[in-house]
Structure 1
């Protein structure tokens, strides 16, 4: 991966009408796939009951035991407790397959300061919607003896996915983006664009346009996106994503989950029409340029945002995920064969099994499987009592 490059574009690139610089890409072939909230962090204002001291003691004990690890099972719960919290206000960090919960030391919220914080997974948001994903966290807090009195969105990523044959390249995005003077950056893999950013990393709003197919193939636990996209092949799928921090959400009057659900279409409309756009070079005045057909498709997602994605998926059926691991392990096998000086498949597999059993003989394989399941967003197998 090339180093990230940062630049203030000076307008020297000559605009073109294609999606790939000098190629003759046909924007009419662009297909809308889906749109939704891909990431959501919420601040939680929780009133803990009289068992708070017992809970905080359990949390402290679990955190101490987790020191030096990447997380251990929290006693009595199907979640992990991690060795560190979230600075500056949240001492404890618990992780479930579909969300992370950070808990502060205060039994009650202090003025406008939340005493809990949650980060919801993309899988939960795409399959259950905003309300369903948030309710998972609320129900868990209630099972711990807490009452959630207020929920405030702290960060939200709004995304729309498109099938774009041939994809996009850096020249196209630089040539057509408006405004022209906004900070931009990009990641290249060789001469192929993988990610393009508009806006600085710490700005209230940042646009990210990237090759979602490439990213999905890199992470086996994200292959469930194929169900949502309803495509047979994971290629030429590009995502337009806006990352909104609390400052931007506040400016848009998003102070609750109700606000987010009711305003999300209007937020997308503002982001794609007023904050930035891709436009054709048909007028010297950039404000009067025609919207590029690709970006018109992006803008049209405003009317669809907020609708639940109706996808049925059995979480225990992860066939595609297992195929990814088979492919990865099989790809490493020739290297192992060379290391043991063998070119016989059966002999290589036999020795690999023997060495693998020896490796795990002194380690807890079942526990590692449980931890891996939670970290990759899968429900862990039921542990023996």
Structure 2
């Protein structure tokens, strides 16, 4: 299946806007967990102590019984005021409390990263979290939503975006701040409390952040954006206080009610109209706003091919950094020894300098292995084995969040 249609996709004559994608771009869960087996908590305490002794993060993992990929993470040498252990990986981060039974604070706070949500879809990733906790000896008593960022990405003509958008906002929030890069509009923020709205030039943000989310072009199904068009993300960040008042408590609530939330955000909380000074019965929506209002379908389909594009982007960035460090190392080593006109440096010879340098600073195979293990968690992406486990679950007719019979031994699954 191709996900790269012709570049420079344009709006048709008379078409005010076109939805390219919709979904949950960021998700924070608060889980009440009863640890029936406390060995993971004991292991996290050991890893945290080791990290504190080294003043650096140390690697850990949780294994699953079904043969799907282990979750690799690093443990920080410190916790927070509410949680003893901080676990990080390329796909998500956990804050874990030390109590084996539920307390007034959530036992585990999980922050799921954007790439993971777009790659696998929110439901599958939340199921993954449940499976990991289950494998580590825990039982999820409640899975509540602490924060959810809902978004719709629309293709707009540049003339519609370059207007002074603050003049067209009707919102329950008074706070409105535009953002610019030089003379180019980059975004607009509305509100700053329990609900916050943002509209911003997504491709421009991708460039500003070093191209780390270049895979969004595959989600949109375009290769580039025409000069007279913009891809604008309309996004609402809703914290727990805001969405709970709207009837969303658990993740299951969020799955069922996301279209309703979007209708509220774009119909009552925020509207873009021709003249906010008019009485609301006489106001007309800007032509592209109804497209945004109708743009959230509530179905965020998984895009497994994102993973390959993201890995490639990481590799390219790391190669550029490696070449930069190598040239700097050679330049520093040849201070006062200028390259003569016509002289050509031998790349193979200078690559050998890297080997000599790392040995000079005490690196060996063991040191190299430990450093790679630590980095693996940072770059790990849920891959083919995760996808295979999802297919097997679907073929077996097992619905999401249907718990399997709990094992009585988990010692080999967590490290």
TM-score interval, normalised by the smaller of the two chains: 0.7 to 0.9
Q: Which residue of 2 aligns with 1:258?
A: 252
Pick from 351, 354, 366 the counterpart of residue 353 of structure 1.
351
Secondary structure of the structure 1 residue equivalent to 2:224: coil
Q: Deviations over 1:91-116 (max 9, x none)?
A: 11122332112110111112x43211
Cα drift, residue 205 of structure 1: 0.3
| Aligned mates of 2:116, 2:305 — CA distance in 1 | 12
Q: Deviations over 1:107-157 (max 9, x none)?
A: 1112x4321111111122223222211111111111110011110100000
Is 1:40 the counterpart of 2:11 in the alignment? Answer: no
| Aligned mates of 1:221, 1:208 — CA distance in 2 | 20
Is 1:278 the counterpart of 2:257 in the alignment? Answer: no
Cα drift, residue 287 of structure 1: 5.6
Secondary structure of the structure 1 residue equivalent to 2:130: helix
Moved more, 175-184 or 31-40: 175-184
Q: Deviations over 1:49-99 (max 9, x none)?
A: 1x31x33221111112223655221267622112233x3321111223321
Pick from 357, 369, 375 the counterpart of residue 378 of structure 2.
375
| Aligned mates of 2:239, 2:265 — CA distance in 1 | 13
Cα drift, residue 320 of structure 1: 4.1
Cα drift, residue 324 of structure 1: 4.4
Q: Which residue of 1 aligns with 2:48?
A: 63
Is 1:89 the counterpart of 2:73 in the alignment? Answer: no
The answer (yes or no) to whether the contact 1:127–1:308 under 8 Å persists in 2 is no
TM-score, with structure 2 as normaliser: 0.73
TM-score, with structure 1 as normaliser: 0.78
Q: Which residue of 2 aligns with 1:207?
A: 197
User: Quick one: higher RCO (CA 8 Å, sep 6+), 1 or 2?
Assistant: 2
The answer (yes or no) to whether the contact 2:171–2:268 under 8 Å persists in 1 is no
Two-structure CA RMSD over aligned residues (Å): 3.2
Report how many aligned residue pairs link the two structures: 347
| Aligned mates of 1:300, 1:279 — CA distance in 2 | 16
| Aligned mates of 1:81, 1:345 — CA distance in 2 | 49
Secondary structure of the structure 2 residue equivalent to 1:185: strand
Q: Which residue of 2 aligns with 1:223?
A: 214
Cα drift, residue 207 of structure 1: 0.6
The answer (yes or no) to whether the contact 2:326–2:354 under 8 Å persists in 1 is no
CA shift in 2, pair 1:225/1:367, >3 Å: farther
| Aligned mates of 1:105, 1:312 — CA distance in 2 | 35
Runs of at least 5 residues in structure 1 that lack an aligned partner in the other structure = 1-25, 381-385
Is 1:115 the counterpart of 2:143 in the alignment? Answer: no
The answer (yes or no) to whether the contact 1:167–1:238 under 8 Å persists in 2 is no
Is 1:295 the counterpart of 2:289 in the alignment? Answer: yes
The answer (yes or no) to whether the contact 2:176–2:189 under 8 Å persists in 1 is yes
The answer (yes or no) to whether the contact 2:200–2:234 under 8 Å persists in 1 is yes
Cα drift, residue 181 of structure 1: 7.0
Secondary structure of the structure 2 residue equivalent to 1:74: strand
| Aligned mates of 1:314, 1:369 — CA distance in 2 | 24
Cα drift, residue 176 of structure 1: 1.3
| Aligned mates of 1:55, 1:181 — CA distance in 2 | 44
Cα drift, residue 288 of structure 1: 3.0
